[in-house]
Amino acid sequence: MTPETILYICIAALVSLGLAIFMYGYKAKYNGKFKWLFGALRFLTLFFILMLVINPKLTTDNYYSVKPKLPILVDNSLSISELDKNGSVVGLIEALKADVALNDAFDINYFDFGEDINSLDSLSFTAKNTNISKSLSSITELYQDETAPILLITDGNQTIGRDYQYLGSSVKNPVFPVTVGDSTKYTDLKISQLNTNKYAFLKNQFPVEVILSYSGKGAVNSRFLVSKGGNTVYSKNVSFNESKTSETIAFTLPATAVGFQKYKAQVVPITGEKNTSNNAKYFAVEVIDQSTNVLVVSNIIHPDLGALKKAITSNEQRKFQLKKPSEAVSLLNDSQLVILYQPDRTFAGVFSELDRLKKNSFIISGLETDWNFLNTAQTNFNKNATNQSEEVTGALNINYGTFAIEDIGFSRMPPMRTLFGELEITVPHEVILEQQVDGFSSETSMLATMELNGNRHAIWDGENLWRWRAESYVREKNFETFDNFVGKMVQYLASNKRRSRLEVSSESFYYNNNAIKISAQYFDKNFVFDPRVPLSITVVNAENQDRTVYPMLLRNNFFEVDLSSLQAGNYKYTVSAQDQSVARSGNFTVIGYDAEKQFNSANVTKLRTLATNTKGRLFTTSQYEALSAALISDVRFATVQKSEQKIVPLIDWKYLLGLIALTLALEWFIRKYNGLI
């Protein structure tokens, strides 16, 4: 409280006292007892009212203790049960929860992780993948401004994600790994990695790359085989020793038949191997008899062209060609889709030939687009563009129903550049992205598709697609989200297939350590997506005829089902709409690969490196007492006492109004009771 405020309070007290004396000591005709009583009540009433006018601020200091956080990450993957350490992990968690001293010293939170991180409810040790780096990054982000050492309970064997041992610079708090499993290195020969294309073209060769690894003592000899349907299609003798612990084998296989082709890669086990489940791995390719040719026509050089090439060719079924307008005319008939990038008057021959051949097209406009030419070269849309440019972003139209689109965060993507003006589409169309300027809708289309007389077309008004692809990598650490979106655009525009009222999207095969998802869309008789009709999928195991029905869940403009619980095998499915005579059938194969069964010991080396880089310490499950003592005694994690100062204006103190009302009421009651009113 300031000296000035104290002075005002003193003046208020003197004024209140003077008025009370004047009213009841000088003027009043009451006897001595009532004079003093009424004078005191009036003094309090006036003083309280003047205090409200002055409104002094009251300051209070509250002191409290803040315990450091202790996030505990528990590996819930299948590898823990494969190492037969379920009991050790569960026992360690129970010990942590029962440790009174540790719980007094830390605010403890429990999480489990496999491919993703979750708040710990119960441990099942069934996760098909382990992503240690993702769990550490998530916890670091969650506790970025707090003192929070991380207790990591794991075997250290990671199957997906970035190499966690090098996360020291990005993990701000110390990590204390607790090793689960035997650290003894056993003799082991395994397939560490197998790379191949998902698609191959008929009568072509497709490449296969295999990395074999060996751990053990002494020299060993074995044989690597690739078989298909019981017949060996490739073989090679291999040898290893203590200095040669790995070998990369690259070869090609012929694509002789159309459709799904399944292969088995195997390295023959050696004597004394404890784990032989990592000696074999199944892989598959889908052989197709033709590819989708995508021709991109551009008269300028722009980073967008590179982004389009990468996104389109991420699917091996598609071939990409980049040509200038003068070179493109002769190639149009051999292309299923023609992308016209920022057309100008040199595209006149291309537009004439496209119209004659009735080809599908995808126009991408930008700052170099000649809209005076483009408005006359086609009749699907027009734009009264000026020479002024603007930055625009896109917002997904969730009612778009031509094909299934998942929101990849369009509204949060970096802005694109376009010429100022309203894009008017003059034919029936569907808008995918609505244009926004500074976060507000401009009520014009940014990306739209149209289907006329059996031909499909699209317009994307904006350049700098490459920024969107780069942003998807920043967010996801890969380009998949953007590439999948462009892939769906290309898949739709490159086809002239007649639309069905029930469209189903699925792969011919899946690996069982990845998500197995099937999506579908149901359209009414006017081919408008109808989210009100429930869809279900019936899945039948082709071997034992087990039948299971799953409901499909609505996600924006499509339905989806996750079948990741299916075991390896061949399956048939039927997607049907409730109370409608519409259904679609297909089949797929789930290829078995247990990534979590590839290990026979804990990876102590990586865990120790992680602990060292983050200034933590490595422990085992049998060293609980030492672990608990180290955490409690570490001065970096001491409980901190903090103070919180609150400044509250007196006018916010509601009790003062109650006191004013009370003094006035007492004065009135006493007067009334004694017949003085």
The model's pLDDT over 620-654, given as tens digits with 9 standing for 90+, comes to 999 999 999 999 999 999 888 777 777 777 777 77
Residue 247 shares a structural domain with residue 302: no
What would the mean pLDDT of 73-84 be, rounded to a whole number? 90
Residue 54 shares a structural domain with residue 150: no
Residue 422 shares a structural domain with residue 335: yes
What would the mean pLDDT of 160-182 be, rounded to a whole number? 88
> What is the structure's pLDDT at 166?
84
> What is the structure's pLDDT at 489?
92
The model's pLDDT over 510-525, given as tens digits with 9 standing for 90+, comes to 988 788 999 998 887 7
Least confident of 51-65, 260-274, 353-367, 579-593: 51-65
> What is the structure's pLDDT at 1?
65
What would the mean pLDDT of 656-668 be, rounded to a whole number? 83
The model's pLDDT over 101-135, given as tens digits with 9 standing for 90+, comes to 999 999 999 999 998 999 998 899 988 889 999 99
Looking at every residue in the chain, the average pLDDT score rounds to 88
Last residue of a domain, one of 264, 288, 312: 288
What would the mean pLDDT of 606-630 be, rounded to a whole number? 93
> What is the structure's pLDDT at 215?
85
Is residue 243 predicted with pLDDT exceeding 80? yes
Last residue of a domain, one of 229, 264, 288: 288
Is residue 325 predicted with pLDDT exceeding 90? yes
- Nearest Cα neighbor of 256 from 292, 204, 318, 209 is 204
Is residue 224 predicted with pLDDT exceeding 80? yes
> What is the structure's pLDDT at 18?
80
What would the mean pLDDT of 71-84 be, rounded to a whole number? 91
CATH of the domain at 529: 2.60.40.10
Q: Which residues contact 545 (CB under 8 A, 6 or more apart)?
A: none
> What is the structure's pLDDT at 503?
87
> What is the structure's pLDDT at 344?
94
Is residue 174 predicted with pLDDT exceeding 70? yes
550 contacts 563 by C-beta, under 8 angstroms: yes
Is residue 22 predicted with pLDDT exceeding 80? no
Burial 647-662 (b: 16+ CB within 10 A, else e): eeeeeeeeeeeeebee
> What is the structure's pLDDT at 659?
83
DSSP β-ladder status, 583-591 and 569-577: antiparallel
CATH of the domain at 431: 3.40.50.880
> What is the structure's pLDDT at 28?
58
pLDDT bracket for residue 184 (50, 70, 90): confident
How many domains does the chain contain in total? 5
Q: Sheet of 440-452: strands edge to edge?
A: 318-323, 292-298, 337-341, 361-365, 455-461, 440-452, 430-437, 389-396, 416-419
Structure token digits, residue 149: 């050492």
Pick the more confident residue, 558 or 35: 558
Q: Which residue has the tokens 């409980």?
A: 639
SS3 169: coil
Q: Which residues contact 118 (CB under 8 A, 6 or more apart)?
A: 111, 112
Residue 334 shares a structural domain with residue 474: yes
- CB-based contacts of 552-556 (< 8 A; 24+ apart in sequence): 552/518, 552/520, 555/406, 555/519, 556/396, 556/398, 556/405, 556/406, 556/407
pLDDT bracket for residue 479 (50, 70, 90): very high
Structure token digits, residue 559: 């339905």
483 contacts 310 by C-beta, under 8 angstroms: yes
What would the mean pLDDT of 208-228 be, rounded to a whole number? 91
For residues 211 and 240, give the distance between their C-alpha atoms in angstroms, rounded to a whole number.
13
> What is the structure's pLDDT at 294?
94
Q: Which residue has the tokens 């999207």?
A: 505
Last residue of a domain, one of 263, 288, 313: 288
What would the mean pLDDT of 309-325 be, rounded to a whole number? 91
- Nearest Cα neighbor of 405 from 416, 414, 396 is 396
> What is the structure's pLDDT at 100?
94
> What is the structure's pLDDT at 414?
93
The proportion of the chain whose per-residue pLDDT surpasses 90, expressed as a percent, equals: 52
- Nearest Cα neighbor of 84 from 624, 611, 621 is 621
> What is the structure's pLDDT at 440?
85
DSSP β-ladder status, 361-365 and 337-341: parallel
Task: Give the global pTM.
Answer: 0.62
> What is the structure's pLDDT at 82?
84
Pick the more confident residue, 338 or 44: 338
298 contacts 256 by C-beta, under 8 angstroms: no
Residue 331 shares a structural domain with residue 439: yes
* Residue 161, Ramachandran bin (φ over 0: left; ψ between -120 and 50: alpha; else beta): left
Residue 307 shares a structural domain with residue 456: yes
SS3 268: coil
Q: Can you say how many angstroms the Cα of residue 325 is from the centroid of all Cα atoms in its chain?
A: 40
Q: DSSP string spanning 377-437? A: H-SSEEE---S-EEEEEEEE-TT--SS------GGGSPPEEEESS-EEE-SS-EEEEEEEE
For residues 11 and 16, give the distance between their C-alpha atoms in angstroms, rounded to a whole number.
8
Is residue 26 predicted with pLDDT exceeding 80? no
What would the mean pLDDT of 360-380 be, rounded to a whole number? 94
What would the mean pLDDT of 376-391 be, rounded to a whole number? 92
Residue 11 shares a structural domain with residue 128: no
The model's pLDDT over 426-460, given as tens digits with 9 standing for 90+, comes to 998 999 999 998 888 888 999 999 988 888 999 99
For residues 573 and 580, give the distance between their C-alpha atoms in angstroms, rounded to a whole number.
17
Domain span at residue 88 reads 68-184+601-638
Structure token digits, residue 324: 């200038």
For residues 37 and 21, give the distance between their C-alpha atoms in angstroms, rounded to a whole number.
11
> What is the structure's pLDDT at 295?
95
Residue 428 shares a structural domain with residue 382: yes
Residue 137 shares a structural domain with residue 210: no
Instruction: Name, of 42-46, 181-185, 399-403, 485-489, the range with top average pLDDT.
Output: 485-489
Residue 483 shares a structural domain with residue 551: no
Residue 48 shares a structural domain with residue 95: no
Q: DSSP string spanning 124-142? A: ---BS---HHHHHHHHHHH
For residues 184 and 215, give the distance between their C-alpha atoms in angstroms, rounded to a whole number.
11
Residue 268 shares a structural domain with residue 360: no
> What is the structure's pLDDT at 32?
62
What would the mean pLDDT of 394-416 be, rounded to a whole number? 88
Beta bridge partners of 248: 211
> What is the structure's pLDDT at 236?
95
DSSP β-ladder status, 509-511 and 583-591: parallel
> What is the structure's pLDDT at 53?
81
Is residue 239 predicted with pLDDT exceeding 90? yes
Least confident of 223-232, 349-358, 526-535: 526-535
